[in-house]
Amino acid sequence: MFPQTSPLTRRTVALCLVLAALVAALPVRAQAAEPFRLNTDGAPPHSSADGKGYEDRIVAEGFRRIGVPVRLVVLPSERALQNVVQGIDDGNYPRIDGLTANYPELVMVPESMSTFPCAAFTRDPALKHVSWGDLNGPQAAYVRGWKLVERNVPDPSKLKRARDQETLFLMLDMNRAQVVIADLYTGREIIRRRGYKGMRALLPPLADPPMYIYLNKRHAVLVPRLVEALREMKRDGTIERLTRAGLAGYGVDGGAP
């Protein structure tokens, strides 16, 4: 005959079972107390290995406000996205909206964190302006995995592709492309740092869309909290302050292009 348990013991056992179920439902990183791993393909002044890019600062502050420690990692664009799709990393920033249609493994945080002034750069003094429709052949190049470009050009398969923006400007310098599509701020920083001559951005930019954080869908519970944190950061001026500080760290004017 089995011994009877007291009501207190039964309640204790029930509570332990509930707690065990809650812990099991937590993401693996939360159970292990590991930092939330966020990746980006950004380059200075947006992102940097030391986390001092202005978008790095915005993301780190947003997660700090919801009590989630983060680790920021810089990866090539397509690999960064696939790492989150596959659950290797927890989130990716910054990206244009609408990616969940093709990547159902992702969930977008529907509050923008920044914008992306995407511009065409050239060395051709006769070239004054280009539109998305003009970028329709191997004379143009972009970074592999940039969904903004792939969404807007007539046929992205006809364009040359590069691993990153540094490579784009090397291609432009070596006359392997007539036009490269890059971020306005990063492009100017690369030209300054590398000492390239005769390169310039064609203004206004091709686009300046809002940019968002994406998470692997297993972290969907964090989305409402991040939305509120980003909105609060806009209301109290934090995003503007961090943007200007990050740009100033690279000698970039955060005003009009």
CA atoms within 13 A on the CB side of 54: 25
Of 120, 134, 63, 127, nearest to 93 by C-alpha is 63
The pair of structure tokens assigned to 130 is: 């280009």
Tell the CATH topology of 118-207. Answer: D-Maltodextrin-Binding Protein; domain 2 (3.40.190)
Distance CA 1, CA 29 (A): 44
CA distances from 148 to 54, 96, 132, 224 (A): 20, 7, 11, 25
What dotted CATH number matches 29-114+211-248?
Answer: 3.40.190.10
Q: Where are the alpha helices (DSSP H) in the chain?
A: 7-25, 28-31, 54-65, 77-85, 147-152, 165-173, 184-194, 223-235, 238-248
The pair of structure tokens assigned to 87 is: 């659950």
Contacts of 61 (CB under 8 A, 6+ apart): 233, 238, 242
Do the Cβ atoms of 153 and 136 come closer than 8 Å? yes
Distance CA 142, CA 179 (A): 9
Please tell me what DSSP assigns to residue 121. Answer: E
Strands 118-122 and 200-207 come out as: antiparallel
pLDDT tens, the chain, 257 aa long? 434 545 545 555 444 454 444 444 444 444 446 899 999 999 999 999 899 999 999 999 999 999 999 999 999 999 999 999 999 999 999 999 999 999 999 999 999 999 999 999 999 999 999 999 999 999 999 999 999 999 999 999 999 999 999 999 999 999 999 999 999 999 999 999 999 999 999 999 999 999 999 999 999 999 999 999 999 999 999 999 999 999 988 877 655 45
CA distances from 149 to 143, 188, 237 (A): 9, 19, 31
The pair of structure tokens assigned to 175 is: 């006359």
Res 11: pLDDT: 58
Res 149: pLDDT: 97
The pair of structure tokens assigned to 33 is: 């107390």
The pair of structure tokens assigned to 141 is: 């190049």
In the chain, CATH 3.40.190.10 covers 29-114+211-248, 118-207
Largest CA distance in the chain: 96
The pair of structure tokens assigned to 168 is: 């784009």
Res 252: pLDDT: 73
The pair of structure tokens assigned to 79 is: 């690999």
